[in-house]
Structure 1
Amino acid sequence: MTDNPEHNIQIQVETRYLDGQSDPGKARFVFSYTITLQNEGSVGARLLKRHWLITDANGKVQEVRGDGVVGEYPYLQPGEAYQYTSGTILETPVGSMQGDYLMEADDGDQFRAPIAPFRLAVPGVVN
């Protein structure tokens, strides 16, 4: 793993509560999240793996590891962006996610692109 300034993947997240797929009476709260990765480095890089920590309001943590995202291994040239949408289910109306992507740059270096913690919340539950 390197800490090379040429490797700079910026990540933005938007979340949505999916009311129609949720069932609060059965402790089922469904959220979607849209991730945008932007390669602000100077070398191309491919996303190889994902790692998520998903925490609900009871402190229950789900750890998710896997290859790629939504069945893809996006490759980003410098300046390019990639966007995808996925989802998760919580047992509480509020939770959070954080993690990282394992990337491989054109120069063969592997590095992690961190995903800062973000909140999942049913609208109106948290101010």
Structure 2
Amino acid sequence: MVEQITYGVKIQVKTNFEGTFYKDHKMLFAFGYQITIKNQSKNSVQLNARHWIIKDALNNTETVSGEGVIGKKPVLLPGESHTYNSGCLLTSPIGSMKGYYQMINFTTNEVFKVEIPNFKLSAPYVLN
């Protein structure tokens, strides 16, 4: 598990390899990840947007931005957490993801970024 705290918001990431499949004569590697966002600050916050940088071992980079996470913009009171599952496809058995969430602090109306730490994606058979 990888974790990081930014402005009192803790991000924890767990990953898993889901398998391989062929699409358009290309082998793709499917990875799942579970993210828990925990508000350890004294203020209520809301996640409004996400920004991801996804890389694979073939030096391909994909940038993904959008509103919320899996169709939600969770509001977290102090001490609350939100967990969700998602995934990505890579063209190699090794890669990484990192990014940030754009959030708003309801006490100060400040918009701020919470870093999502860099985490590795790897098929279990490629690493010892």
The TM-score with structure 1 as length reference comes to 0.90
Q: CA deviation at 1:125?
A: 0.8
Provide the C-alpha distance between the structure 2 equivalents of 1:26 and 1:102, rounded to a whole number of angstroms: 34
Give CA deviations for 1:15-59 in whole Å, capped at 9, x if unaligned: 11112xx22783200111100001011101000000000000011
Equivalent in the alignment of 1:109: 110
What is the root-mean-square deviation of aligned Cα atoms in Å?
1.5
Distance, in Å, in 1 between the alignment partners of 2:27 and 2:56 is 11
**How many residues end up aligned between the 2 structures?**
120
For residue 59 of structure 1, what is the aligned residue in structure 2?
59
Secondary structure (helix, strand or coil) at the match of 1:72 reads: coil
Aligned residue for 1:69, secondary structure, equals coil
Which SS does the other structure have where 1:23 is aligned?
A: strand
Matched letter for residue 110 of structure 2? D
Alpha-carbon offset, residue 100 of structure 1: 0.2
The answer on 1:123 being equivalent to 2:124 is: yes
| Structure richer in strand, relative to its length | 2
Say if 2:44 is the partner of 1:27: no
TM (norm. structure 2) is 0.89
> Which segments of 5 or more consecutive residues in structure 2 lack a partner in the other structure?
1-5
Identity %: 38
Which amino acid is the alignment partner of residue 71 of structure 2? G
Match of 2:99 in 1: 99
Residues 1:9 and 2:19 aligned together: no
Gaps of 5+ in 1: 1-5
